């Protein structure tokens, strides 16, 4: 397993060791000891979620507010997505900045997003299936987000605005400046 630091504090791109032969492949999706060894992060999985979305679907930018904030380890099991994290921690030197990575079934990369960051993704393939491992249980009352097209964040998504498919909830999210953050 390899871990690559991103431009955001405490945010990592994980590359598992993949063993391939004529039968297919094998890799460990998560090993707590190896993860801590390469990142220095204690990450205890409490919930595992999956989503399947069609091309052009953008989910995000989501996060849970304290005391139910979540760290996430995101993997793309089928297809390809553009995965994005935004640092919402006001005392962080990377506050208001974002990092993005292409996750796919082919590259098998994972994206570790610590507590205090928003997360979103855009589906680039015909469809994509994602798995999220989280260190905190889902809490509807703490579930919120910020607008994917916040001009202050200036995230360059791979599709034009009119090609992006959003949920009603994600269409109404506030900008970072409008949000009341407690990180």
H helical segments located in 8-139: 32-39
Q: Above pLDDT 90, what percent of the chain?
A: 97
pLDDT in tens, 54-112: 999 999 999 999 999 999 999 999 999 999 999 999 999 999 999 999 999 999 999 99
Catalytic site residues? Answer: 62, 132
Q: Give the distance between the most distant pair of CA atoms in the chain.
A: 53
Domain assignment present for residue 181? The answer is: no
Number of domains into which the chain is organized: 1
The CA distances from residue 102 to 71, 114, 125, 137, 172, in Å, are 19, 18, 11, 26, 26
- Domain assignment present for 141: yes
Contact criterion met (CB below 8 Å) for 180 and 90: no
Q: Is residue 14 in some structural domain? A: yes
Q: Distance between CA 119 and CA 113 in Å, rounded? A: 8
Residue 179 lies in a domain: no
Query: Is the confidence at residue 183, as pLDDT, over 90?
Result: no
Does residue 182 lie in a domain region?
no
Q: Does the residue 25 lie in any domain? A: yes
Distance from C-alpha of 43 to C-alpha of 3, rounded to nearest angstrom: 14
Mean pLDDT of the chain: 96
Nearest-angstrom CA–CA distance, 101 and 161: 19
Q: Residue 139 pLDDT > 90, yes or no?
A: yes
Q: Which residues contact 84 (CB under 8 A, 6 or more apart)?
A: 60, 61, 98, 99, 100, 119, 120, 121, 122, 155
Q: What residues make up the domain containing 100? A: 2-171
Is the residue at 51 inside a domain?
yes
CATH number of the domain that 61 lies in? Answer: 2.60.120.10
Any domain includes 78: yes
Distance CA 5, CA 152 (A): 24
| Span 6-18, pLDDT tens digits | 999 999 999 999 9
């Amino acid at each position: 397993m390899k871990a690559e630091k991103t431009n955001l504090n405490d945010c990592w791109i994980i590359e598992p060791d993949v063993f391939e032969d004529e039968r297919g492949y094998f890799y460990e999706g998560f090993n707590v000891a190896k993860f801590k060894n390469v990142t220095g992060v204690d990450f205890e999985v409490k919930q595992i979620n999956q989503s399947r979305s069609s091309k052009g679907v953008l989910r995000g930018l989501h996060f849970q507010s304290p005391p139910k904030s979540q760290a996430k380890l995101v993997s793309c099991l089928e297809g390809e997505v553009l995965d994005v994290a935004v640092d919402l921690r006001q005392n962080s030197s990377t506050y208001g900045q974002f990092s993005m990575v292409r996750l796919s079934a082919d590259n098998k990369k994972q994206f570790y997003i610590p507590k205090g960051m928003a997360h979103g993704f855009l589906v680039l393939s015909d469809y994509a299936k994602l798995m999220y491992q989280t260190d905190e249980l889902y809490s509807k009352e703490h579930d919120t987000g910020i607008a994917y097209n916040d001009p202050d964040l200036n995230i360059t998504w791979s599709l034009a605005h009119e090609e992006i498919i959003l949920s009603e909830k994600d269409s109404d999210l506030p900008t970072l400046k409008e949000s009341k953050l407690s990180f």
